[in-house]
Chain A
Amino acid sequence: MDERTKLLEKYSSRVYKNRKEHVIQLENITDQTITANTRAIPGSMTARGCCYAGCKGVVVGPLRDVLVITHGPIGCGFYSWGTRRNKAKAGEDGKNFIPYCFSTDMQESDIVFGGEKKLEKALDEAVEIFHPACIMICSTCPIGLIGDDVQAVAKRTEEKYGITTIGYSCEGYKGVSQSAGHHIANNGLMKYIVGTGDQKPKAKYSVNILGEYNIGGDGWEEERILKRIGYEVVSVFTGDGAYSTIRNSHLADLNLVMCHRSINYIAEMMKTKYGIDWLKVNFIGVGATCKSLRDMAKYFGDPELIARTEEVIQDELASIYDDMEYYKSKLKGKTAGIFVGGSRAHHYQLLLKDLGVETIIAGYEFAHRDDYEGRQVIPFIKEDADNKNIETITVSPDEKLYRERYTPEKLEELRQEIEIDTYDGMIPDMNPGHVVVDDYNYFETDELIKIMKPDIFFSGIKDKYTILKGGTASRQMHSYDYSGPYSGFRGAVLFAKDVTMSLYTNAWAYVTPPWKNTPMLTGTLTENA
């Protein structure tokens, strides 16, 4: 019996029918399909969060110069306050709103009589105290139900103060996971911010980094490397990102897409509207980072840039060589499981591979089929009522600013070598026998670890202590356990060190008390016996 069967046979027929489409064991890598982005089963203890978490928590929360206010009761704002480790430093304007939590803290009377007035008043107070350049309003569950019109409040505030104000209807119940919130946030950024600036990049080659949230400082390590090569980073969506830079993002030469799941909408829309190509990159893993840098150089096709890229790669590799060799010697042959997000379960497999660790279980919390199987499946994805409720905006080429770097023929040629305007998904990087799980739940996490016995399991805080208690090393892949960066070259070394520490820490030796394995000697000694 294979591992998947062992897991699924524990389900009732009703649940089995649903979950068998979401759990696959790889046989033939090229034509296996998975069901994703459908409703979680109530009571399954899914790891998923909600639409608000995707919009406020993931995409717009990290914007350092934007005053993001949660419109709703206090909880949602509280839980998304400083809990994701998306780092930021104030820019020239001195504004960094990341350590703050703003909420309308709605009370019963606001629910009964409507909360628009309170929201408007709260925005007046926020403007008076903070004078932000941009405000975003994120709605929680009751807002849509009581009919507060946050877009109208945003419009009035914008007119009153001349401050860009965006209202997001990202109520928690929308869609089936955080993913709906990513989409809603993307739409707002595209509609109201991208394209509103006119500050042109200065360097010969400039890029935006999309879908990089600067957890543990990942984005800063990426920027360090890109700047060394000579690229200008115009804007980052959205880790340590800013309203002031995203306004100019349409003037960059190329969009780099880290987390395809949360940001591909903007990448696509910028392609349509401004003609900017996007390149799927992955700066998690030494090999993956080198490949991404080389792909970028190939895209621009400038011999000087290609040479400089190679020079930087060689120098960076040399600087981490000894450390990586040491950690490889500690980690080679280990196995891992990884359940996280909508891109990291793929990205980290490549870093683990660098270290000689094989990922035997991988799963996404809120991915779509294309994140598993590649973008070529998009036309075949069935729409359902839950996704249809999420607005899809259409953009058309901008008369003044649309420009294509390459002809379609040249792009097709490039596509033979690099992932331009496309993404191949996670499954092609995995091997037969590996188990892939969509919308993993607590039961499956616990069972699969028991069945497949990986040496280390990467997941979130909700699973971390469960996994540890079961005797398996575990690290948080959402927040990096107060560590990071894990990206690029230096990040790879830090990750390797953290994984090694988790596996080899001395305390593992004490899990079983000595009296469990040593029988107590009883009886009496007698002479001449």
Chain B
Amino acid sequence: MLDLTPKEVAERKALRINPCKTCQPVGAMYCALGVHKCMPHSHGSQGCCSYHRTVLSRHFKEPAIASSSSFTEGASVFGGRSNINTSVKNVFDLYDPDIMAVHTTCLSETIGDDLTSYIMDMDLPEGKYVVHTNTPSYVGSHINGFYNMMMGFMSYLTKKTGTSNGKAAIFPGWVNPGDTRELKRIAELMKVPYIMFPDHSGVMDAPMTGKYEYYPKGGTTIPEIEALGDCDHVFGLGDIISVEPVEFMEKKYKVPGTLLPMPVGVAATDAFIMALREFSKTEIPYALEEERGQLVDLLLDCTQYSYQKKAAIFGDPDIIIGMTALALEMGMIPKYVITGTPKEEFTRKVKAMLEAYGVEDCIVKANADLFELHQWIKNEPVDVLIGSSYGKQIAKAEDIPFVRAGFPVLDRYGGPLMPTVGYRGAIRYVEKIINALMDRIDRDSADEDFDVVM
């Protein structure tokens, strides 16, 4: 496996090998699927749309519907106005969503299609909406696409009436539906009335009923997006992915915001719950305190197997900051921490955490790829690898225990139904990481050292 990867690291300036990111449009598509009765629409060649639907379906094991403007060579020369107009007509006729969320591609961006004016000129069916965002694939990563689409929805729909609705807006960032369910549960326990945007629960984890519907029950509704401007506060989770949407809420609608790390691990979950307490002026219910206690109990119980163990952690910035925090809480050394997304803020945040724990000699890098991560591991190995499915190649090549986290996880089932965030999410991941490490001890133990008791 990956037999052609040499140990010697040669500097690369132009060649990307085994990326740790993908392009903006898939982020926009995923974001839009978290809106109720929404059809994401890809304005470009139909291949983009097929690829994005495919990777989303493979991660969630769910339908991921989206339509395409199906550009041909002619449209690429003369512009895609007629393609988007035809698309909008056909989508409302055939698939009857309440709203279409259009995102651009490198094709429509390069030719400079002006979607704002195209959409303004459209004759839409009564009560239907079309919104858009610009997602040039050659800028940033899928993470940018996700928050750009959020701001696309808000620019078109969100209003400020001047009357508060008494709610908190919660921007969960790029998480699984299992996470939004957990965040909502925590908000409810904290007696915080909220609008979750976007919300993939009930859409990308819809139950089997024997009857397929284009639009399952879940997703943030249009009235909810409209009402975001009347919220009293916005909590942006993921202090890379939610920066711009929170600023947007502050500047455009004067909704004060709090930016928080994705609540992965003890401290980040504590921060989220403390922030909710501040909002609702509610004492922390025993249910949450109990869960927290269970998590800390678990950390102490299993520290023998995690203490000073080295981890390589890769993936999207916010989940990786979270996983790094959890690894540190477990007493591990996050030896290599990378993201493919080009955000230097990521490096600063991870380095600050390492410093706070007094951990040295780690490599932290944004705009990195899995080829270089693999080369580093060849030079100085780690005990466990944490990240998306593409890590399995490195794990096999170097015979390292592997824990799947983040996006995309293409080769396992059930993950998107479960939380990574909150104390429960942390308990789940501590179990995963510890079991991966202990399975390795068992596998490698001589018969005389093979223990049944711990």
A contact set with B: CB distance below 8 Å: 11-12, 14-15, 39-53, 69, 72-83, 90, 94-97, 99-108, 110-111, 118-119, 121-126, 128-130, 140-142, 144-146, 171-178, 385-386, 389, 442-443, 446, 460-471, 511-512
Contact = CB atoms under 8 A, between A and B. Distances in A.
Contacts of B4: 95-97, 100, 130
Given A45-B65, A75-B137, A465-B57, A105 B50 contact: no
Contacts of B18: 81, 100-101
Residue from the set A99, A124, A144, A512 with the largest chain B CB neighbour count within 10 Å: A99
B44 interface: yes
17 contacts: A44-B90, A45-B94, A50-B45, A74-B16, A78-B23, A101-B19, A105-B16, A105-B19, A108-B138, A129-B6, A173-B45, A175-B72, A385-B73, A462-B50, A462-B63, A469-B209, A470-B210
Given A43-B67, A103-B19, A111-B138, 12 more contacts: A43-B68, A43-B86, A49-B51, A78-B23, A82-B393, A107-B138, A121-B14, A142-B106, A142-B138, A146-B110, A466-B65, A512-B210
B15 interface: yes
Given A73-B137, A173-B72, A141 B14 contact: no
Given A75-B26, A100-B2, A172 B48 contact: yes
A174 B47 CA distance: 11
B441 interface: no
B21 to A, nearest CB: 6
Contact of A53 (B47, B53, B70, B76): B47
B106 A141 contact: yes
B17 interface: yes
B111 interface: yes
A144 to B, nearest CB: 8
B343 to A, nearest CB: 14
Nearest to B13: A121
Nearest to A95: B4
Contact of A104 (B15, B70, B111): B15
Highest count of chain B CB atoms <10 Å: which of A15, A42, A50, A124:
A42
Nearest to A117: B14
Contacts of A102: 15-17
Interface in B78-131: 83-84, 86-91, 93-95, 105-107, 110-111
A464 B66 CA distance: 15
Nearest to A50: B47
Nearest to B46: A48
B436 to A, nearest CB: 21
B400 to A, nearest CB: 16
Contact of B76 (A122, A124, A145): A145
A14 B67 CA distance: 18
Contacts of A82: 390, 393
Given A74-B16, A142-B106, A443-B94, A43 B72 contact: no
A80 B208 CA distance: 30
A75 B95 CA distance: 27
A51 B86 CA distance: 22
Interface of B: 1-4, 6, 10, 12-19, 21-23, 25-26, 41, 44-48, 50-55, 57-58, 61-76, 83-84, 86-91, 93-95, 105-107, 110-111, 136-139, 141, 206, 208-212, 340, 371, 390, 393, 410
A34 B81 CA distance: 29
B138 A73 contact: yes
Query: Which of B4, B139, B209 has the most A CB atoms < 10 Å from its CB?
Result: B4
Contacts of A75: 22-23, 25-26, 48, 51, 106, 137
A172 B22 contact: no
B107 A76 contact: no
B54 A83 contact: yes
Contacts of A144: 76
A46 B70 contact: yes
A172 B107 contact: yes
Given A44-B94, A470-B210, A141 B17 contact: no
B53 A462 contact: yes
A74 B22 contact: yes
A126 B5 CA distance: 11
A172 B44 contact: yes
A461 B58 contact: yes
Nearest to B47: A50
Which residue of A104, A108, A130, A142 has the most chain B CB atoms within 10 A of its CB atom?
Answer: A142
B17 A76 contact: no
Given A108-B138, A173-B73, A443-B95, A43 B23 contact: no
A178 B71 CA distance: 13
A44 B86 CA distance: 9
A462 to B, nearest CB: 5
B70 A129 contact: no
Contacts of B340: 74
Task: Give the one of A45, A69, A463 with max B CB within 10 A.
Answer: A45
A41 B50 contact: no
A229 to B, nearest CB: 33
Given A42-B86, A101-B19, A141 B208 contact: no
Closest 9 interchain pairs by CB?
Answer: A50-B47, A75-B23, A43-B87, A43-B90, A172-B45, A470-B212, A121-B14, A79-B51, A105-B16
B324 to A, nearest CB: 23
A14 B48 CA distance: 26
User: Which of A75, A171, A471 has the most chain B CB atoms inside 10 A of its CB?
Assistant: A75
Nearest to A39: B72
Contacts of B1: 99
A46 B72 CA distance: 14
Contacts of A462: 50, 53-54, 57, 63-64
A14 B75 CA distance: 20
A52 B47 contact: yes
Given A75-B137, A104-B14, A141-B44, A44 B67 contact: yes
Contacts of A73: 23, 106, 136-138
Contacts of A39: 70, 72
Given A42-B68, A462-B54, A103 B16 contact: yes
Contacts of B91: 43, 45
Given A41-B70, A125-B13, A142 B110 contact: yes
Contacts of B53: 462
B15 A125 contact: yes
Contacts of B390: 81-82
A100 B2 CA distance: 7
Given A118-B14, A471-B210, A48 B50 contact: yes
B106 A41 contact: no
Contact of A471 (B41, B71, B211): B211
B68 A46 contact: yes
A126 B18 CA distance: 13
Given A100-B18, A461-B58, A50 B95 contact: no
A83 B56 CA distance: 13
A52 B55 CA distance: 17
Contacts of B210: 469-471, 511-512
Interface centre among A11, A173, A467 (most CB of B within 10 A): A173
B57 A108 contact: no
Contacts of A386: 72-74
Nearest to A119: B14
Contacts of B94: 11, 15, 43-45, 443
B107 A96 contact: no
Contacts of B63: 462-463, 465-466, 469
A293 to B, nearest CB: 35
B141 A140 contact: no
Nearest to B69: A42
